[in-house]
Every structure is written in C-alpha cells, then in structure tokens.
Structure 1
C-alpha cells in the first residue's frame, strides 16, 4: 500500500507541474436538490453566467469553446427556443478563496452575476488538490480525516460565494457541480481518495441544499470510471511493451480534466437538473 501511495505522490507531483505550465500558457479569461422556492425561467433571452475553475474555463476541450458551458447553453436554447447569452468567468487553478476574491474585485464578474438568470459554479477540485499539495511529503500517511477541517473551511467560503451572489441577485437559479476522482482507474485500490471526493461533494451539497433556488449536480459517478466503467490502454513506447490505463472521458494531455465527451456528459447532467426545474 505504501508503494502505491508513493506512486500516487509521484503522479500528483507530475500533475501539479503540468497544471503550472498550463496555467501560465493558457489565456485566462445522485439526485438534484429541489429547494423550497423555485423561480422558473420564462424569458426569451436568458442571461447565463458561468463561474468557477478550469472546468468552467474548459481546459481539455479540443474546440476551445469553454467545455460544458456552451453545450449546456445550447441545450437550453434547443429546449426552450430562447436565446442564451453566455458570460464565462472560469479561471484554471482557482480555489474557492480565489473565486470569491475575483467575484468581489472584478466589476465585469459582479455585473454578469447581477444580471444572470442562470449561474453555474464549478468549485472544490483545486481546494482538494491544495490539501494534497500541502501534505505531499506525508501523502502515504494521509486519510480522509485530514480533509475534515479543510472541508469545513471550504464550506464557509462557499457560503460567502452564495451570499455575494444573492446580495445583488436574489432570483437566479444556481447550479453547483460536484467534483470527481480522476485517479480511480489508475489506483482503484486507494479507496481513501474516493472517500475524500465523496465527503467533499457531501460538504458542497450541504451548503447548496441550504440555499434557495440552488441545485447540486453530482458528476463523480458519471466520470470517474470512464464510459461504462471501461478503461483505455495506451501505449507508452514505440515497441508497445508497456501500457498505461486511462479514463476515456479525460483529456489525454493531462489525464485530469474532461475531454469533449466528458464535458458533454457534464452538460447533460446540468441540463437534467435545469429541465427538472423549468419543465
């Protein structure tokens, strides 16, 4: 088990290095909970603000269109015959603290959230990675208890994000996507990572469920095993002597972010929640 954890530590270090390079190189730009108060959207022009991290920015999307965001918007347009105007405020690498900092200091984000009918938020993945990064030297001894306090602090920040949005916009529907485990197919025996993801998603859902017109959208079960739980074997040498197992819903450039198919699955999940409220 220690050997597996050491291997995971090496993988995490490699991923963190890739993130640093991508962050510098890329231009910055379950069941859904039904709250007690539901504002249905009937406007023919729908203003959509997407807030969050790299999943909102669309890292891994080969079309460079913004990942699940335009796919979700197109599904709304096709269903309601409305025009959806998108403002994408995603930024790769952002933690919940950094998202809150941007939304309270950037006038364009404040204005976009204020006028939005629909808001999506991707948050939490970088908070988990931050805990792992800060404990990388001791990762082989980590367990889910090491994430309890960070998760509580994260919940407080998520509540502040909601409060900031509701300060200027009391009617927008807010959809918060959960996080997923990108390491599962490579390290299926490390169940602690899956426990961490599940617990973190539960922490997010608890906050979302306490808010009016807010809906949690789980995506871990849709992504962590790949399509129908099938892994893809990729050659790692010209002689095909060794192979790596990879998730076929993840971007091959980093094996962490979703690829086009993964983002389509995310868009479908958000739209399923949206359609349930606005049928």
Structure 2
C-alpha cells in the first residue's frame, strides 16, 4: 500500500510539474477582442470643415444645401462607409483677407477647423474681382501685368491663412480649390481674363505645393467652357449672349447644381489620390 501511495504521489507530482511547465510556456490566452476597437471605417465620424467664399456657401445651388460641400461629404460616406460631420463656413463676397479676419474673429470657425480631419477652402475669385473694381476707370487697357503685384500680395495672404490653420490643426488634409473664368463663353476674345485666371491659379498652387498635407484642386478647365467643352447655346433668341450650362442662370457667374457636382467630384478625386 505504501509503495502504491508513493507511486501515485510521484505520478501526481509529475502531472503537476507538467501542467506548471505548460502554464509557463503557454500562458493563459487573453481576450483579444476585449479592448479591440471596431474599424475606423465603421466607427469613425470624420469631421469636415469647409471655409471660403460664395462657392463654399453654395450660391447658385437650387437646393440651398451648400453647393459642393454636402455632395463631397456624401461621396465620402458612400465610398468609405463612414459618417461625415460637416460644417460650412462659406460667406459670399469674401476675399482672402475677409476669410482670414472672419476665421480669427469667430470662435465657431476656429473650433471647427481645429477639430476637422478634412478642410476645403475656396478663395481667390473675389480677390481677382477686387483688382478689377479697383481699376474700373481703365478696364479697357488692363493687361495681365496689372494683376502681378496684387497676385504676389495674395500669395502672402494665402500662406498666412494656411499657416494659421496649421497652428491649431497640424494633421488635417487641406484641399484648396482653384478659381474659374465665368466670362469665357460670352467673351472668349478677352484672353487677358483667361491669362489672369491661369496665373492666379498658378500662384495659389505655388503656395499650396510648399505646404505639408495641403493640395490644390484645379476647376477652371472643368467649368469655363460648359459640359465637356461643348459649344454653348444661345440663352435668348433675341440676344447674342450665350450661356455656360454649368453656371447658375440667375447670375451666369456661380455654378449651378451640375457645376457644383463637378466641383465635388474634383475634390473627391483629389482625396482618393491622396488616400489610395
């Protein structure tokens, strides 16, 4: 009996030693999903802030929902299966100086830009129009050179705007949209305006290209000739004027719904290229 007990005790000790060894070699499996967060594509709400002039406000949008801003947000949601929370800080008529001053004065804009993952900016069109208004007495003799000095000053303001946003938000992707020539269809012979628009866009792109995580989105070639560059049709049988079918018929200046969709597509294409 004593011998049997010794054998049993030895066997039990061996079992305990084996289990102890296995415990050390293979520790208890943890619950891998206890602290695991769902994929950002299904959980994350992307914050999007739109800053700018009338193109951000959405003047010409028949739905009065904000032009390209909600269209771009919806495309993000549908493509990436995420929720996009957007804030529209657009104001018609604002120049780059006015956009900057409004941003500095309004805490809501500061907060929106600070917390955003994506920021779009429309700026520049009213700066060009200001140069024209300031020289209204000699419009017929203006050349592209008359815009050179204002263009350099504009570049400095754009850099200041971007640098200020970066101070509070170093990580957001910023997409700066170019400007377009709304007068081309009716006045194609006035080539100076197209030169000015091209030069102004180049000036914006030059600033943007030097900034980290900031991208220029050109739109002039998409809008200034109408859909697919097709010949515009006469807007009035008793008039020689013609109509760009991507512009709002109320002013023939701002985009219409189709124009805003094209802008949204351009921004989304840029976003996809950055986040492929």
Under a length normalisation based on structure 1, what TM-score does the superposition of the two structures give? 0.83
Matched-pair contact (CA < 8 Å) for 1:124–1:179: yes
Query: 5 Å matches for 1:152-167?
Result: 152-167=152-167
Instruction: Kindly tell me the number of residue pairs found equivalent between the two proteins.
Output: 235
| Inter-partner Cα distance in structure 1 for 2:105 and 2:57 | 19
| Inter-partner Cα distance in structure 1 for 2:272 and 2:165 | 22
Q: In structure 2, what is the equivalent of residue 24 of structure 1? A: none
Q: In structure 1, what is the equivalent of residue 178 of structure 2? A: 178
- Secondary structure (helix, strand or coil) at the match of 2:243 reads strand
How far apart are 1:46 and its partner, in Å?
0.3
Offset from partner CA, 1:114-154 (integer Å, 9 cap, x none): 00000000000000000001111100010000000000000
Note if 1:108 corresponds to 2:99.
no
- Secondary structure (helix, strand or coil) at the match of 2:241 reads strand
Offset from partner CA, 1:198-239 (integer Å, 9 cap, x none): 00000000010010000000000000000122212112xxxx
Where in structure 2 are there 5+ consecutive unaligned residues?
1-39
Q: In structure 1, what is the equivalent of residue 234 of structure 2? A: 233
Note if 1:254 corresponds to 2:251.
yes
Note if 1:99 corresponds to 2:96.
no
- Secondary structure (helix, strand or coil) at the match of 2:48 reads strand
- Secondary structure (helix, strand or coil) at the match of 2:253 reads coil
How far apart are 1:242 and its partner, in Å?
2.9
Query: 5 Å matches for 1:1-279?
Result: 44-230=44-230, 231-235=232-236, 240-279=237-276
How far apart are 1:243 and its partner, in Å?
4.3
Offset from partner CA, 1:52-84 (integer Å, 9 cap, x none): 000000000000000000000000001110000
| Inter-partner Cα distance in structure 1 for 2:216 and 2:120 | 10
